[in-house]
Amino acid sequence: MLKLGVLASGRGSNFQSIIDEIDAGNLKASIRLLITDNAGAYAIERAQKHSIEYLCLSPGDFSSKDAFYSRIADEMAKRDVELVVLAGFMRIVRKPLIEAYPHRIMNIHPALLPAFPGLHSQKQALDYGVRISGCTVHFVDEGMDTGPIIIQAAVPVSPVDTEDSLSERILRLEHKIYPHAIRLYSEGRLSVEGQTVKIINYNMSDDFIINPPLNG
Ligand code: GRF
């Protein structure tokens, strides 16, 4: 069973979707630890409710950013975590964690990368006037949302969309593709080749390149 560690800064709805898929028996994994950088994160309540161990670590309490990430890597390793999952973690991960978990850190981003990396990507997409947006699960490297892409899902953008309505439509898909990407990893079906990820024994159901109707 795959041992997961989660990093989250806020609401934690993606964290919840992973918990739910594990509980439903659709993802053979266990969450060994949640680490948050925000003592007010709602993700903490979710961890408490599901008896998941959590730690709150503040970067300000460390001598440097690298020291903060070394500590995260140590805490994960102590619990035999095999895959680190970023679920709304609002910081750029630095070398000590990336080197401890090479191609073993995933992130979800609410846009079709490489378009609209960074913050407020749904607003960036609206301001740019794209007709299709979506979400991306990728492995984490030292850049901002630049690591190898694992899976993506697309949604249409309506002329009357607001940042909130588009975010919500994308979020519903995030909750589907993130657990699926973790499942592919847990089955040993992801192979990183340079900037690309190959899905081993690929079949169409591994992809979420779908456009749910705007009212769907
Ligand atoms: C999601 O939109 C995710 O794509 C982005 O941050 C948001 C986190 O939401 N990285 P939640 O905390 O998982 O509800």
- In this predicted model, what pLDDT tens digit does every residue of 173-195 receive, in sequence order? 999 999 999 999 999 999 999 99
CA distance 216 to 212: 6
Mean pLDDT value across the chain: 95
Q: Residue 153's beta-bridge partner residues?
A: 135, 208
Using a 6 Å cutoff on CB, does residue 44 contact ligand 1?
no
Distance 152 CA to ligand 1 centre (A): 15
- In this predicted model, what pLDDT tens digit does every residue of 39-74 receive, in sequence order? 999 999 999 999 999 999 999 999 999 999 999 999
- Token pair in block for residue 51: 């008896």
State residue 210's pLDDT score: 53
Looking at residue 148, the DSSP 8-state letter turns out to be: P
Q: Residue 199's beta-bridge partner residues?
A: 190
Distance 103 CA to ligand 1 centre (A): 20
Using a 6 Å cutoff on CB, does residue 5 contact ligand 1?
no
Using a 6 Å cutoff on CB, does residue 50 contact ligand 1?
no
Closest Cα to atom 5 of ligand 1: 88
Asked if residues 78 and 71 have their Cβ atoms less than 8 Å apart, the reply is no
State residue 204's pLDDT score: 75
Distance 111 CA to ligand 1 centre (A): 11
Catalytic residues: 109
